[in-house]
Amino acid sequence: MNPPPNPFKARKYAFTALKTVAYPQPVTGTTIPGRLCFVCGGGYGYTCALIHPLKQPDTIMHSFPRRAITKEKPYRINFVCLGNICRSPTAEGVFQHLVMEDGLEEYFEIDSAGTGSWHVGNPANSKSQDIANQHGIRLLSRARQAVASDLEYFDLTVAMDHSNAADLQAMAVKDEHEEKIVLLRDFDTDPGDGAVPDPYYGGMDGFKNVFDIVYRSCRALLDTLKTDVIR
């Protein structure tokens, strides 16, 4: 079969789908509707292709590399939005919270960043913090700007919207860096237009909506990744 196009930058994928099975049959875990897993070789080092659950089953949204996750080699994940004060710190805090709930804090390294530098050093937006606090989640990060070396260091870079993803793609110097970039809503069971909306200029309802989107997407992302954890 022909490999799928990159949704952010047209290029060829350097993998061959040797076997197609309904996810997550290559490993055990929670099934995420609408996803397939293209397995290249053994149980690890394969590529997981995400399929939009509301579109035809041959519409592949994105794929990303997978590997075994151990205490010795924790999985590094970076959430990225524009300014790193609303959406991505919320995603970082929510994902960290879920990881701790599942007792997996030794298996993940979690960070966030912004493609812009306007808010570097600032804490998360007060409205984002208020909503998170209502759910028992603290947003402790300080804003920083994403740099090209992040794409080498992190196993997965999770963009909040298509513009963020395009900016990250422009920073990539290797094909393998591009393959690490996904949209958070690739994992959303109700992905809408694929973007986590920026609530910066809106009211509390917008921040509540963002939190709900981020929470369910992070839950699905962690359920996907934790099947690769080797205790």
Catalytic residue among 66, 87, 185, 219: 87
Report the percentage of the chain scoring pLDDT > 70: 73
Could you confirm whether 198 is annotated as catalytic? yes
**Within a domain: residue 109?**
yes
**Within a domain: residue 139?**
yes
Q: Report the C-alpha gap between 51 and 118 in whole angstroms.
A: 35
Could you confirm whether 212 is annotated as catalytic? no
Catalytic residue among 161, 186, 198, 228: 198
pLDDT of residue 22: 33
- In the structure, what pLDDT confidence band is assigned to residue 38 with cuts at 50, 70 and 90? very low
pLDDT of residue 62: 52
Q: Which domain holds residue 93?
A: 68-228
Instruction: State how far Cα 27 lies from the chain centre.
Output: 19
pLDDT at 151 over 80: yes
Q: Residue 169's closest CA among 153, 182, 160, 155?
A: 182
pLDDT at 65 over 50: yes
Query: What confidence tens digit (pLDDT) does each residue in 166-219 have?
Result: 999 999 999 999 999 999 999 999 999 999 999 999 899 999 999 999 999 999
Residue-averaged pLDDT of the chain:
81
For the segment 141-152, the average pLDDT, to the nearest whole number, is: 98
pLDDT of residue 142: 98
**Within a domain: residue 181?**
yes
For the segment 43-64, the average pLDDT, to the nearest whole number, is: 45
> Are 147 and 168 within 8 A, CB to CB?
no
**Within a domain: residue 25?**
no
10 CB-near residues (< 8 Å, 6+ apart): none
DSSP 76-112: EEEEEESSSSSHHHHHHHHHHHHHHHTT-GGGEEEEE
Q: Report the C-alpha gap between 132 and 23 in whole angstroms.
A: 31
Between these two residues, 33 and 217, which has the higher pLDDT value? 217
Catalytic residue among 48, 81, 86, 218: 81
**Within a domain: residue 58?**
no
Query: How many domains is the chain partitioned into structurally?
Result: 1
**Within a domain: residue 50?**
no
pTM given for the model: 0.77
Looking up residue 224, the CATH number of its domain turns out to be 3.40.50.2300
For the segment 128-135, the average pLDDT, to the nearest whole number, is: 98
Query: What confidence tens digit (pLDDT) does each residue in 95-107 have?
Result: 999 999 999 999 9
Could you confirm whether 219 is annotated as catalytic? no
**Within a domain: residue 23?**
no
**Within a domain: residue 15?**
no
